[in-house]
Amino acid sequence: MSRLSGFFKSLMGRKPAFVQVGALCLRGPEGLREVLLVSSLRTGRWIIPKGWPMKDKSLAQAAEQEAWEEAGVQGEIARVPMGRYTYLKDRGKRLGVVCEVHMFEMNDVTLADDYPELGRRERQWVLTSKAAEMVDEPELQEILKSL
């Protein structure tokens, strides 16, 4: 293990410095549930729609807004988080920060043809088991496997 990767592993053991919100957009019956993943802007890796809390919005409302902006999703958002995971947010040339994402389940989802980040991200419905293989965050992988 390189010194740098060891340093990042030590960061992951720390209390998260930043809170983010995410929408876990789901459809389909138990056993065949699918989750909507989007590509990240900088690296193109697969993630759930997520972002920062917003002034004058609850965490659930902010997660709902992120789902709209990043994936053109509208639906019924839960008012309490269904789980959370941590990850190391890459900030380019600056030192990464540990973020804790509070996830809100979204059901009865519809996808718009036009939305703010259309053309900047890909979006894809995948079975939760496949999604667990596609995302990088170990805690998110475990949550997806449990659905």
**If you search the block for the tokens 């990850």, which residue do you land on?**
87
Enter the DSSP assignment of 135. Answer: B
3-state secondary structure 70-91: HHCEEEEECCCCCEEEEEEEEE
Tokens linked to 111 = 């996808």
Where in the chain are the domains? 3-146
Cα 13 to Cα 36: distance, rounded to the nearest angstrom: 28
Instruction: Encode pLDDT of 83-139 as tens digits.
Output: 999 998 876 677 778 899 999 999 999 999 999 999 999 999 999 999 999 999 999
Superfamily (CATH H level) for 3-146: Nucleoside Triphosphate Pyrophosphohydrolase (3.90.79.10)
Instruction: Encode pLDDT of 28-47 as tens digits.
Output: 998 899 999 999 998 899 99
Calculate the CA 132 to chain-centre distance: 12
**If you search the block for the tokens 């997806």, which residue do you land on?**
144
- The structure's pTM equals 0.85
